[in-house]
Chain A
């Protein structure tokens, strides 16, 4: 007998896809009302996701069979398209909803020009719909399509203000995305040619560690690493994220990059799992250490507030790479990695939103001249500081719990006799100090003696949403157990 609520899940999944698409289509068709449709849509989608996840958890599924799979149009795999919901997708859907809602509310204040509003909202809603579908997709081709929806709307969002910097940033971003997508697509084609299926579950059952799989793995992973700006393929990130409007930067750094990383994780947990070797793990881990050090140093040198934040993304994603060799020792660590991504997304989005408010108030974001505005806007400083504490991995925030679990995994490998594990432990612990140094650069000017000048007035949303989201990032520390337990409901993953 299925527990109460479980029978509603398929309808709920299909409904979520339908709802997010409907909101996006409506806003595109009706650009004058796009911001109203957007706000209502954001509330509706968030509510839907929360109810869906509550139903999913309440159904108390068995970890082995926890995935709910929906065949669109009644065509089962390998012929039809499958939607797929499990603990991992639920977690990322909720993350997207929280960051998405905060960004939407913030944008009500940030995007006030009538023409910009008509361009921003439909693009943003397509991006959100794309992310929702990405997290619900169950086959390789569908993943490619949704990834393209996400990437193209992201590119357009970077460009939509039309300034020279924005357009050149967007063009670069577009090229990177096309390159990444092509590489990914080639991998998909290779897999399809070898096995004749695209569905991930079916693929997983058929793959072995052959040359085709290896080639596909390299192509797909490289493409996704480029999109996720994983070191050393990160060079495009800072200009693109730094020059985009604040809500777009928040979504790019918080969600879009996370989406690509989600795919890497999904593939390596399933289809490519047999290909991972310890030597490969160490290589990835070393790249992670490089990312941590290099990204942090750049963040310490950057002269603009948003560049600091963007480089911090490069650094923070280094932790994800460092965690890769840890996953080879204790496969269960992947849940910690996802929790870290969630916490990072929340904190990073709030830092970008706060930076946007400061930039709007000051008219620029050059750190050296930002002191006056920082001193006059303690609420923004507080948001930066609180989210910054989460990035440093200090209590009482989600970042601390994530850091604790990562450190535990790292020390676990050391105790299991791995010498290189010492390096991972040092990187995980030391990364927090580097983060503290660049967060301090953003916060310290407000404590310096000097003139206080609030600059341009900002709307109420822009004044409060960053602090609200930063508080959520801090309180995520209380959701550690819940998130890890939800993630455990992902069949197939260790």
Chain B
């Protein structure tokens, strides 16, 4: 159990405060904020320690027997740290944002309790050492997210919650069955770079193909692969911090991360190519990217447009993984981080518009750049990043995906990338243009100032700081992509260290 305590401490740094918050009376605002920020800060620090350790080459592992022959395993490899540090950083920011966003609203103890449970589950997913552990945290995430989706308690929220559970629980059962089946066949192995199913490839090829489809259905609902995506745009009725959690920090990321684990660490890219599995996944990802971009064009609701954009952008990750060459994988993995940072910025901005000025629709954005310049600047950076303008984060992704497509001998993927970038521009530029160049004649409604008094900045500082921070982060990871500790540098390290793929050359 070398260093296993560090992994447990990371898990409990949000679980402990979360459980404590549940029992806090509603009015203990100071203590609740202290617990929230204390937990988020501790987690960030501990993940930093772990990051340094893994970089040194230390091994971290914790295991607990669950059933005869089956263990709960937490382990830290470079890939799990990519996801863990992403969620730790974004959780901290989202916590600050959520405290500002929910100020004065009822039932905050319940909200922050489940909020912390969600993040604990996400970190659990990141640190899972085998499929069963992954499944356990994945299902906990499903359950812990539901109260957040229905938090507002309106009929629309409850409907979204029901739909969310119907999709995720059903896919969870498919996943559950597939994992039990796989474990019966191959034993409860831990994630192994390059996969651990080679021995079965000769005898059980068809079974492995069926299992792969089942696993993709299981993860595909959370990763919002078309046609399993419908819950995500409807779940946008949730409060903005929850959307951030769904779209950037936890839920869709968990699905995408599951697909990465299955392709790379369960099947292994070589076996997945051999069984023809990556080709199918590639097509699904390409269809998802294009279809949901078109859907995004058709809606005027800002959050809904962002939600369809998530569906499309998360599939870049899948696309990269399905290209199954080193450059493609780098593009996919790095987009896990880039999409998170960019999309959280955009959702924070949408939340700021809605909270400060009551603006929900793109057609109402005219002239908002003059009233809220910093937020609009952040939105612009996020939007341009999504489109893939150099030197922003999205460009780094698309560059590597494009190289990966050529490397794997699939130039048609380049076409998909170009087309989707054009579509991205088509649905992201209108809000930007309206915001900066549009004219607003009538005065703004000011719901925030109406109930909280005048603010020093363009909005509450706890709403403004996270937006500025994540927008700057999105700029920095693009500008300094060449440095060793940038997401790109780290992802290259993962691919170099763990996947000695055929034809590898950077």
Contact = CB atoms under 8 A, between A and B. Distances in A.
A95 interface: no
A338 interface: no
A261 B147 CA distance: 36
Contacts of A396: 136, 140
Given A433-B169, A440-B165, A481 B67 contact: yes
Interface string A382-420: 100000010010111000110111011001100100000
Given A382-B22, A432-B173, A447 B180 contact: no
Which range holds the interface residue count of chain B? 35 or more
Contact of B67 (A404, A444, A447, A450): A404
Contacts of A440: 162, 165
B165 A429 contact: no
A448 B184 CA distance: 42
A481 B68 CA distance: 6
Interface in B164-197: 165, 169-170, 172-173, 176-177, 180-181, 183-185
Contacts of A478: 64, 66
A425 B173 CA distance: 11
Given A408-B184, A436-B169, A395 B65 contact: no
Given A389-B143, A447-B147, A404 B180 contact: yes
Contacts of A408: 180, 183-184
A394 B177 contact: no
B110 interface: yes
Contacts of A448: 153, 158
A411 B181 contact: yes
A10 to B, nearest CB: 30
Interface string A215-231: 00000000000000000
Contacts of A450: 153
Given A407-B180, A415-B184, A436-B165, A394 B143 contact: yes
Contacts of B172: 394
Given A411-B180, A411-B181, A400 B173 contact: no
Chain B interface mostly: helix
B135 interface: yes
Nearest to B22: A382
A480 interface: yes
B180 A395 contact: no
B360 interface: no
B180 A378 contact: no
A392 B165 CA distance: 13
Contacts of B132: 404
Contacts of A12: none
B454 to A, nearest CB: 29
B152 interface: yes
A480 B161 contact: no
A430 B172 CA distance: 11
B176 A407 contact: yes
Given A389-B143, A408-B184, A484-B67, A429 B177 contact: yes
A477 interface: yes
Interface in B258-315: none
A484 B147 CA distance: 34
Contacts of B64: 478
Which range holds the interface residue count of chain A? 35 or more
A477 B142 CA distance: 18
B154 interface: yes
B67 A480 contact: yes
B139 interface: yes
B373 to A, nearest CB: 36
Given A436-B165, A448-B153, A395 B177 contact: no
Interface string B85-118: 0000000000000000000000000100000000
A395 B135 contact: yes
A395 B161 contact: no
B71 to A, nearest CB: 10
Given A407-B180, A411-B180, A484-B68, A449 B136 contact: no
A404 to B, nearest CB: 6
Contacts of B137: 395
A57 to B, nearest CB: 16
A440 B150 CA distance: 12
Contact of A405 (B67, B136, B185): B67
Given A481-B66, A481-B67, A447 B153 contact: yes
A405 to B, nearest CB: 6
Contacts of B162: 440
Interface in B128-158: 132, 135-137, 139-140, 142-143, 147, 150-154, 158
B67 A449 contact: no
A117 B101 CA distance: 51
Contacts of A403: 176
Interface string A240-272: 000000000000000000000000000000000
Contacts of B22: 378, 382
Contact of B177 (A411, A412, A485): A411
Contacts of A433: 169-170, 173
A413 to B, nearest CB: 11
A450 B170 CA distance: 30
A368 B396 CA distance: 54
B154 A407 contact: no
Nearest to A407: B180
Nearest to A483: B67
A198 B67 CA distance: 37
A426 to B, nearest CB: 9
Given A408-B183, A477-B66, A485-B68, 13 more contacts: A394-B142, A394-B172, A395-B137, A401-B67, A404-B180, A405-B67, A411-B177, A429-B176, A430-B173, A444-B158, A444-B161, A480-B66, A484-B68
Which 3 pairs of residues, A with B, have the shortest CB-CB distance?
Answer: A449-B153, A395-B136, A447-B150
29 contacts: A389-B143, A394-B139, A394-B143, A394-B169, A394-B172, A395-B135, A395-B136, A400-B136, A401-B66, A404-B132, A404-B176, A407-B177, A408-B180, A408-B184, A425-B177, A429-B177, A432-B169, A433-B169, A433-B170, A433-B173, A436-B169, A444-B161, A447-B147, A447-B153, A449-B154, A450-B153, A477-B66, A481-B65, A481-B68
Interface of B: 22, 64-68, 70, 110, 132, 135-137, 139-140, 142-143, 147, 150-154, 158, 161-162, 165, 169-170, 172-173, 176-177, 180-181, 183-185
